[in-house]
Structure formats: structure tokens, C-alpha cells
Amino acid sequence: MLTTGKAVKVTLYLSDGAKHHHIPVYSDILDFLFRSGIAGATVVKGVAGFGTKHRMHSANILEISDHLPIKIEFIETREKAEAILPELEKRATSGLIEIQETTIVVPVKENAPVAAAPVR
């Protein structure tokens, strides 16, 4: 479980058409993150975008594109993120991985017991 403090946000940029052994790469990576004990991850599918080849891909009523952008984000301790980075690089063969320093704040739950102040 993450606690308030320093962390890293890892973002993977992929194409929803990318497959590994007939499995979408984003699905394979999400399963890997889950099995690796990452605190949580989110997959977001874009409606339009372009990559290094500067080809525009978009979803509209007339055509369905299988090359729409996919973004996977997770926040974790630097140590844990660095430990799984080599495997992420292997799995995200045609994508891009971004790592940013961040600070997280875990809100205190309203019904959680609060430690009593020391008596002086």
C-alpha cells in the first residue's frame, strides 16, 4: 500500500493494435502489473492520436481503427517501479515508457480511528 510521500508515476504509451502472442499488449502488461503487486493501474483508450510515423489514427462512425492510443498509468515506489522496468521494456516493444517523480497524498479516512494526542 502506498503512503503519503515521494513516488514515481509510470506511463506507458501503446497502440491498441499491438499484440504479443495474439494477446493485446496492454492486457498482457496490465496482467503483469497485477501479478507483480503494483498498488493499482489504469488503462485509458484514446479517441485519436498519432505516433512517431505521424499517421493520424481516430475512431469515428465511418471507420474503426485498431491503432488508437492506449495509455497505462500507475504510481508506485521508485524501488518497485525500477525492479519491474526491465520486464516492462520487454513487453512494451513498440511503445514509450515515461517515468515522473511525484508526490502522493493519501487522504485520511473520516471513520478511521485517530491516534490520541499525548498527554502532557
Rounded average pLDDT per 10-residue block, the chain, 120 residues:
90 88 91 95 84 69 65 96 96 90 89 60
pLDDT at 110: 80
Any idea which residue has 491503432 for its cell? 67
In which domain, by residue range, is 41 found? 5-104
Place of cell 508506485: 76
Residue 77 lies in a domain: yes
C-alpha cell at 108: 485520511
Question: Does 116 reside within a domain?
Answer: no
- 113 falls within a domain: no
Is residue 111 assigned to a domain?
no
- Is residue 115 included in any domain, yes or no? no
Is residue 120 situated within a structural domain?
Answer: no
Query: What are 92-109's pLDDT values in tens digits?
Result: 888 899 999 999 998 888
Q: Could you tell me if 91 and 29 are in contact, meaning their C-beta atoms sit under 8 angstroms apart? A: yes
- Residue 120 confidence (pLDDT): 57
Inside any domain, residue 88: yes
Model pTM score: 0.78
Number of domains in the chain: 1
CATH number at residue 75: 3.30.70.120
C-alpha 68/C-alpha 58 separation (Å) is 6
